[in-house]
Amino acid sequence: MSEIKLERIDDNRWLLPQTGKMKVPGIIYANEKIYQLLKGDESAKQVANVAHLPGIVNYSLAMPDVHWGYGFPIGGVAAFDLESGIVSPGGVGYDINCGCRLIATNLSFADVKDRISDLTTALYQHIPSGVGSTGSVKLSGKDEKKVLEEGAKWAVKAGFGLQEDLEATEDGGAMTGADPEQVSARALERGKQQLGTLGSGNHFLEIEVVQEIFDQTAAQAFGLRKGQIAVMIHSGSRGLGYQICDDYLALMVKHIQETKIELPDRQLACTYLNTTRAQNYLAAMACGANYAWANRQLLMHRTRKIFEKTLRMAPRELGMRLVYDVCHNIAKIENFKIEGKMKKLCVHRKGATRAFPAGHEALPARYKSVGQPVLIPGDMGSGSYVLVGQEKAMEETFGSACHGAGRVMSRTQATKVSQGRSISRELADLGVLVMASSKGTLREEMPEAYKNVQDVVQVMHDSGIAKKVARLKALACIKG
């Protein structure tokens, strides 16, 4: 952050003043503790870089989990005018619609405390994870295109879940405007065998227990109670989404001169929203988003079956139901009040999630009275938080909140720091059983590689963007 000077606005916000060719100022959500961490990171410079892009509205924003990313920082939020603004694949990210799905159950900790090992082993054995992992659902070309168009709806129609799952999924599990014709043959090939797989890196499936309730009204609406067993799934669009991003970044880099857009960083390669190239990218991106929703739907279905078989329980007795599925890494056309008038904007959320308040038209009927569940996973040793979106998010952050704890170490740094340590044993000492296909993954994802999720969540809570509802502790985690 060497040449970037931030000015404190209040206890949870820092202003990045508009200088040079920046079109707008920047705002970073951080308390003093997180601000100190920013000093060793270049993400504030990326917030400034995003502010140079044409048609950006109000501010270039960063959530408290912000860290260095490709072009845009991870934890970055930026909204663009549809006439004068742009869309940038780097502002969405490589893992299109990487997201989280929280599943509640009728079980209490006492019901499973002696079966955690059995459940974890069964999940690890039957849910494909790791780099290049393939699923049991092999798609024909025709079926894959249906997945790209219909998302989680395809999975439910194919018998992998229930209609009520779709009602608790952002956008009903299917983004409109998806056009498989805008997806390359290479991307389609990569997606054919990866549906229903967890992937690698920071993707995970966790068994968690609700440890604390902060907001009884919202918790009740979400179907959460203290001592309850839940499952958190974090995965995305796998190789298909990665390839879509790669293809369109290459295309936009190739046409940088044609757009005449001055970029402080070539990784911000973009195109104006009112062009055919932008519409083609958005149509392909929607395909990646729909693939991710279908992927998480299949992962949930398989998790249900594994719990039923391992615990020898009927579905009604187990009561495994979707609380919500939220995506991050997406660009969406949404309505916001700008200078007193409602306006359609293209909101880029990269490592950020929606945090819509009570009454918002996009919310399922069951959550209209309280607001949207906001799912914030932490590191392997700490578990997760559930928050609820607030009206202030619509006023300040284009209806957005953070999406996780946020890294403080690169994967290379984490691997170096953890040399000679047994991360699985350290986590076992914390009461968390971990299974992973690679010791290298555990070292890259060790708890110290991330900010303290409690600090990150507190910034969102104290700033009024999203209020704390529940804290969940990890009991077991499977990773690729």
Distance CA(43)–CA(347), nearest Å, equals 19
Let me know if 403 is a catalytic residue: yes
Token pair 């973009």 is found at 270
**Which uninterrupted H or E stretch holds 350?**
strand 341-350
Alpha carbon separation from 255 to 81, 250, 265, 438 (Å, rounded): 21, 9, 15, 40
Q: Which residues pair with 396 in a beta bridge?
A: none
Q: Which of 234, 348, 403, 461 is catalytic?
A: 403
DSSP state letters, 161-172:
S-HHHHHTBGGG
Alpha carbon separation from 265 to 48, 89, 242, 253 (Å, rounded): 11, 13, 20, 11
Q: Which residue type is seen at 156?
A: V
* Three-class DSSP category at 293: helix
Q: How large is the angle between the packed helices 276-311 and 116-126, nearest 10 degrees?
A: 140
Q: Which residue type is seen at 311?
A: L
Alpha helices by DSSP H, listed for 151-212, are 152-157, 163-167, 185-191
Per the rule left: phi > 0, alpha: psi between -120 and 50, beta: everything else, 377 is beta
Q: Which residue type is seen at 463?
A: S
Distance CA(27)–CA(231), nearest Å, equals 34
Distance CA(91)–CA(269), nearest Å, equals 9
- Active-site residues: which are they? 403
